[in-house]
A and B are shown apart, each in its own frame.
Chain A
Amino acid sequence: MIRRLSRPLVIILGSLAIAQFFVPHQASRWVEARLLDWLVLLESAALVAGILALARRHAARISRGEGPERALAAVTLGAMAFMLATGLALGTGPGSAFGAIYLSVLQPIQASMMSLLGFFMASAVFRSFRLTSAPATILLVSALTVLLARVPLGEHLVPRISMFSTWIIRGPNVAATRGLWIGIGLAACATGFRVILGIQGPTGAKRS
């Protein structure tokens, strides 16, 4: 029964959500507040589901895996449980143990992991950025111009490079991104209407 009701429910709620933009009435604001509340609650649940799925996956690796894989999965689960317990038991505010672990352990790990991309990018550029075709050459010249314009020495090496770089950003770059945004917008509208009409999405996928 719930499944049968889901499509009308999806259509009604989606239509109500669109209508909020066009109806600046107090009642409309009230409905919008409820829709937003549901959206935040449902997305919170989706985030929890994602974290539980991660925990489940690592629990499965502990029971089925072997050697270091099993130990590493245990490390992940242990770290997750430790952080969760610390946050729930001792609070999450600044100055708490939870905050200290975040700033001294998690933040440096995240920052260091992300910064590795700088090394990898240099290596990839050296090995793969090749003048092998006309599009690749244009891409490379554009990249070199933007990079050089951002260096104080650039203007000495190539006069007016900053002006040319600014033109690239405000001219062809805006043109390409604008074309992409319009395309993305049109595709998002089509997908949005399919979701609202229950043709696409978790309930619609099964029907079709």
Chain B
Amino acid sequence: MRLDYLALLASLTRIDRRILYLLVALAIVIPLLAASGTRVTPAAESEGFFRAVQRVSEGQTVLLAADYNGATAFELEPMVTTLVQEVFSRGARLVLVCLDPQGIGLVEAKVQMLADAAGKTYGTDWVFLGYRPSAPGVIMSLASAPYTVFPRDHRGTSLRALPLAAGLSGHSDYQLVAVVASGPAAQDWVIYGHARYRAPIVIGLGGGLGPTFQGFLDTHAIAGLIAGLRGAAEYEQLTGRPGEALRALSAQAMAHLLLIALIILGNAAFFAAKWRDRPPV
């Protein structure tokens, strides 16, 4: 009996979606179980991000805006982890702010853990200003009048009582502004922050927004950009701190291959069905 390949291919258009879901799950689970490490070639924009952080020296202050929430944490937390480790290892100080009301607990817990591991003291080496609504209001007030919008830190202590925050006056306090954002907050930092902060701005983004921000590299509105898990992995490699992102990259590569296969197979099935159902000549 001759197998009808065309009919078989065409029948794929009616494949149950749950089979596709199962394939996706397998494409992710198998590489995770295999636990193979991987290396990446860093892109120029990731190197820009790395170099901007490297220029921060002991005693200087970095403003970190961690604007993500629980939904996108896995993609952006590796960036925050590596960045904060780098900042603390260089002896620099950290002012942390959050523009996403759903991300406050996550950001605070993560940085607290990293600060404890690095032996850093709250109030002297780092400060968490917390969350306020209105991204423009927060971005601009931090550059001109920090005490107006943040009279107290996230824990309710007066900013003037904290050694690190007591001398804050505005845009000239920071040697670097680092933004790790999953949504439009990154755009707000470019629009409202670029002209107001003297410090270079570097951005870590959720992958989906990566291409949209490439144009800001040419205009020098931002000094560096890392996008998605791949960007986080590149940054981990550049700093020599392999972490969650490099670990998860092999699973992502497999998922990409599956997606490519699905695109090709979906089109093949579509054209096979079209060919089979064509009107007789």
Contacts and interface: CB of A to CB of B under 8 A. Distances in A.
A and B touch in the complex (CB under 8 A): yes
Interface of A: 21, 29, 32-34, 36-37, 39-40, 42-44, 46-47, 92-94, 98-99, 102-103, 106-111, 113-114, 118-119, 121-123, 125-131, 140, 143-144, 147-148, 150-153, 162, 166, 169-170, 173-174, 177-178, 181
Given A99-B109, A169-B211, A36 B141 contact: yes
Given A40-B138, A111-B71, A173-B211, A119 B155 contact: no
A151 B253 contact: yes
Nearest to A114: B71
Nearest to B148: A33
B136 A39 contact: yes
B119 interface: no
Interface in B25-43: 25, 38, 41, 43
10 contacts: A32-B140, A36-B140, A39-B137, A42-B134, A46-B133, A106-B102, A150-B256, A151-B257, A153-B253, A173-B211
A40 B21 contact: no
B105 A37 contact: no
B148 A122 contact: no
Contact of B70 (A21, A93, A110, A121): A110
Contact of B112 (A43, A94, A103, A170): A94
B255 interface: yes
- Closest 3 A/B residue pairs (Cβ): A107-B70, A110-B70, A114-B71
Given A40-B149, A114-B71, A123 B21 contact: yes
Nearest to B104: A92
A151 B137 CA distance: 41
Contacts of A148: 256, 260
Contacts of B258: 122
Q: Name the interface size band of chain B.
A: 35 or more
Given A122-B21, A126-B265, A129-B267, A40 B260 contact: no
Given A33-B141, A148-B260, A174 B24 contact: no
B214 interface: yes
A173 B24 contact: no
* Of B20, B70, B262, B265, most A-chain CB atoms within 10 Å: B70
A190 to B, nearest CB: 16
A127 B109 CA distance: 41
B72 A114 contact: yes
Nearest to B271: A131
Nearest to A178: B215
A47 B101 contact: yes
A35 to B, nearest CB: 9
Nearest to A33: B145
Contacts of A33: 141, 144-145, 148
Given A29-B144, A131-B267, A43 B218 contact: no
Contact of B259 (A42, A107, A111, A147): A147
A106 B77 CA distance: 17
A140 to B, nearest CB: 7
* Of B17, B104, B106, B259, most A-chain CB atoms within 10 Å: B259
Contacts of B195: 21
A43 B106 contact: no
A36 B148 contact: yes
Contacts of A125: 259, 262-263, 266
A119 B105 contact: no
Given A39-B137, A125-B263, A152-B38, A93 B43 contact: no
Contacts of B166: none
